[in-house]
């Protein structure tokens, strides 16, 4: 059993922290900006809460962060009440936020100055994956630090991999989002085309999903897309945040991402329709408006 702190109890962090407590059997202290959410977590899973990230991280062996963006991450790690103010030498900071590779490298350096290990470890699998403890975790950092952290991360993951040095986890998550954007747009256009052609979408998907066109998105989202329901996962606001990180990185490294840039614009159209909190499959709504 390890002493663990978990910072950020959103739709992903809340169940992830729970798996560390229940499945992992660790001594977990949580912090959340809205204290009521931390109280709810303690009522559900046990453990305890702290008034600041720094207090949550005090004496912890492993500290997890899962917050909104780069600025939030800097606040809870390097800020006045951030975890790096109190983490003990030899402890490991594991960041599950989807953030920039730049901030990952920045935190790696800041942690190293305090003799603290750092792993950038963004996740994929959505809210359902977090709740079921079957997330895919893409890590960046030193191999020795990763090997120490992996058994702890395993509590909420079905796949964990070291992608390279600090920042490599975030870069891999960017590729994940690039691929998802293209697949969802293709699925939306396919369903839209099929409807216009008068076909039974369920019959179509039953056949083509067993061939080269099959995908996780097709298997898990075609039914809800077909009936115009879009409250089943990762919100457009979050996806646009992620794609913004992707496109900014592409401007730095020279990658050409015309499809990703176009789909990002399409998501902007859906936001303009009032779909900010719809899930990413709502690209179909834009075609059917």
| pLDDT tens digit at each of 289 positions of the chain | 999 999 999 999 999 999 999 999 999 999 999 999 999 999 999 999 999 999 999 999 999 999 999 999 999 999 999 999 999 999 999 999 999 999 999 999 999 999 999 999 999 998 999 999 999 999 999 999 999 999 999 999 999 999 999 999 999 999 999 999 999 999 999 999 999 999 999 999 999 999 999 999 999 999 999 999 999 878 999 999 999 999 999 999 999 999 999 999 999 999 999 999 999 999 999 999 8
Tokens of 287: 């075609």
Question: Is the domain of 217 the same as that of 265?
Answer: yes
* Owning domain of residue 53: 3-164
Decide if 88 is catalytic.
no
| The pLDDT value given to residue 257 | 98
Among 228, 223, 236, 231, CA closest to 269:
236
Residue at token pair 């949580």: 30
Residue at token pair 């005090």: 58
H/E segment holding residue 144 = helix 143-153
Question: Is the domain of 198 the same as that of 98?
Answer: no
| Number of domains within the chain | 2
Question: Is the domain of 124 the same as that of 12?
Answer: yes
CA distance 172 to 152: 21
- Last-in-domain residue among 164, 194, 209: 164
Exposure class string for 188-214: b at 16+ Cβ within 10 A, else e: bebbbebbeeeeebeebbeeeeeeeee
Question: Is the domain of 7 the same as that of 59?
Answer: yes
Ranges of beta strands (E only) in the chain are: 3-7, 27-31, 48-49, 62-65, 92-95, 117-120, 123-124, 135-140, 157-164
List the catalytic residue out of 21, 37, 150, 173. Answer: 173
| The pLDDT value given to residue 289 | 87
CA distance 83 to 75: 9
Q: Cβ contacts of residue 92 below 8 Å, gap of 6+?
A: 61, 62, 63, 116, 117, 118, 119, 145, 148, 149
Structural contact between residues 157 and 173, judged by C-beta atoms closer than 8 angstroms: no
Question: Is the domain of 221 the same as that of 139?
Answer: no
Question: Is the domain of 115 the same as that of 186?
Answer: no
Tokens of 75: 């606040």
Beta strand pairing call for 157-164 and 135-140: parallel
Question: Is the domain of 110 the same as that of 13?
Answer: yes
């Amino acid at each position: 059993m390890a002493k663990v702190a978990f910072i950020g109890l959103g739709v992903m962090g809340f169940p992830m922290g729970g798996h560390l407590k229940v499945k992992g059997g660790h001594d977990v202290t949580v912090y959340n900006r809205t204290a009521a959410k931390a109280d709810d977590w303690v009522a559900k899973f046990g453990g305890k809460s702290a008034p600041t990230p720094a207090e949550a991280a005090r004496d912890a062996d492993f500290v997890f962060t899962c917050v909104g963006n780069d600025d939030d991450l800097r606040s809870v790690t390097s800020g006045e009440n951030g975890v790096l103010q109190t983490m003990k030498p030899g402890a490991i900071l594991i960041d599950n936020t989807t953030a920039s590779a730049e901030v990952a490298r920045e935190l790696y350096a800041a942690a190293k100055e305090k003799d603290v290990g750092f792993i950038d470890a963004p996740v994929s699998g959505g809210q359902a994956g977090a709740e079921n403890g079957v997330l895919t975790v893409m890590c960046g950092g030193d191999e020795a630090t990763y090997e120490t952290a992996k058994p702890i991360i395993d509590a909420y993951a079905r796949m964990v991999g070291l992608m390279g040095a600090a920042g490599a986890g975030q870069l891999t998550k960017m590729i994940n989002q690039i691929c998802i954007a293209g697949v969802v747009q293709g699925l939306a256009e396919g369903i839209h085309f099929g409807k216009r052609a008068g076909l039974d979408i369920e019959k179509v998907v039953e056949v083509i999903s067993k061939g080269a066109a099959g995908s996780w998105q097709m298997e898990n989202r075609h039914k809800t897309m077909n009936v115009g329901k879009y409250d089943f996962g990762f919100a457009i606001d979050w996806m646009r945040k992620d794609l913004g990180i992707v496109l900014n990185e592409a401007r730095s490294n020279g990658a050409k991402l015309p499809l990703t840039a176009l789909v990002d614009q399409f998501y902007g159209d859906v936001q303009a329709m009032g779909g900010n909190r719809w899930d990413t499959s709502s690209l179909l709504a834009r075609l059917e408006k």
